[in-house]
Structure 1
């Protein structure tokens, strides 16, 4: 199975930790985030991985070389000349997913004990082109799904923006995105004619014509380590519970 790790971000919310290193190499319990994600993917049988890089890209590449690419196939999608945002990053890396099989996308700064293989298999059972891992938790932004579990919109709590992209069936439910999603390559036919764009905007555009569903994992722990305060909280949690062993 194949996967895409989004690791090209600038890590602005983690400054000054990311002033001289990429977010992917920030450590949790002494282990770089990218190593945790790679080992979790391997644990769940994802053995072909592509990683996009931009901020201090050379450090990530050297780290992978030093670790012999963790003895699996790992390719680099190089965005050093231009940061493409999440959607543009997927578009540039789409050549890697040439087997017409679903693949997993995982943010490098997301830590969760979600069973990635179960999530992948759930996607295949739903006849959806995209399945988004979500939780019922407080967030500043939410995906909106209707009673048939179809993505129908997006809400930004901070700005008050609500975007409805398809007529909902029944009441709408709000879910926070967990930074993990499974995608079927048919969506590649719908990429916009530009290089830099958000994957969220792309999904909202697709939702008007394709089934995009969700995978709720409320019983799993979850940390968005894009913020310093969350990194500190995760360190305390991991140290207290020794969950790092379960993760990888």
Structure 2
């Protein structure tokens, strides 16, 4: 069985994001980049399935400029077998990414596709669902547990009322939630081995797709500064402020 894991290069979640002076976007100058945390969970789950003997090959794919190869090599160091870099200088939206992944799925014919449920930069939570629609595959989103069998996969997912388990026929698309697993760290020997693992480069323009996004960013602004707290003399004053100022007590 072959598992495909799309990954995305994003600003490291520990870094404070800076907005450009002209408010046209986020300033990436000298900013530490990393693999999207939800993508890390997806890679970890795919590797665990392979370690259990349920998969023979784990392939990671990333879309973007040449810098994306750093995150592909990271995934290879974690245990993935092969990498695919779809090279483009554009910033494709969720639908364009899903269409590119559809082409990769047609080429690789994986039995299971595992994605992070969303990226921490755009926060759209759309690509997995769009890919499932384009490929006609069943989908299990927000997975907190995955049980893979020969011709099906059971996905336990969190919903408002608790937990829901769905059984999907393979091939299928699964998107990962935070509770699914805790990603491992890459060891130095595996980092060295990752340099010798195959990494194929595909030029996005050669896929015959229109990658122009229909979404235009008008303005990017940083979140409002939080107001400083105040000290209260006693519980009565606290209750009064909660009731009259914060309006959390009726």
Q: Same fold (TM over 0.5)?
A: no
TM-score normalised to structure 1 length: 0.37
TM-score normalised to structure 2 length: 0.37
Larger radius of gyration: 2
Please identify which structure carries the higher helix content: 1
